[in-house]
Homo-oligomer: A and B are copies of this chain.
């Protein structure tokens, strides 16, 4: 009614960018209550808009939920990249610039896993929204799922495994679909921790289990 043309890019009429606002509201809902809490009417309520206004920007409730899921995957990628940066820096500090590619590859795979698990612990609702929404594995080429570094979680995992082959610590014949093995282990621990029977275990204990799980993947791949 009263705030026209918000100096920015102006790609929407009245609101500025209602689509983005609804998406952000949906992300907050998922953060607190997981995918089931992403309720179209509640998102419009939070933005201060009538319920049917959402239909200008999302085909239906499912489309909103999928957009939220994509955004959550992008946040997972961010968490993974943070751990990747820390791990790389630590290695470079320790051994100097001449880090062995094998050590780097292993550190990167661990970082990918620990970032994933750290995110699941820190944001269980968003984690569930990211991966509990049924969607086919579309090769992760959707930029909506990429983090600030431009990579999706799946792409980050793929890169770490490629490093293993490059460093000669993973035979090429065992490379195909190795993503699914590593992903399964880490994803299973994440879901058992946040949704399942491992909920409520002490954080120290879970931390230890987490390290041993990453050991298992490293040894068993």
Interface residue ranges, A against B (CB under 8 Å):
131-132, 134-137, 154, 174, 177, 180-181, 183-192, 195-201, 205, 208-209, 212-213, 215-221
Contact = CB atoms under 8 A, between A and B. Distances in A.
Contacts of A136: 197, 199-200
Top 7 nearest A-B pairs (CB, nearest first) are A188-B188, A220-B220, A216-B220, A137-B197, A184-B188, A184-B189, A187-B188
A221 B209 CA distance: 12
Contact of A196 (B181, B187, B215, B218): B187
A134 B180 contact: no
A209 B218 CA distance: 17
Nearest to A209: B180
A192 B200 contact: no
Contact of A189 (B188, B212, B218): B188
A153 to B, nearest CB: 10
A132 B195 contact: yes
A136 to B, nearest CB: 5
Contacts of A135: 197
Nearest to A208: B177
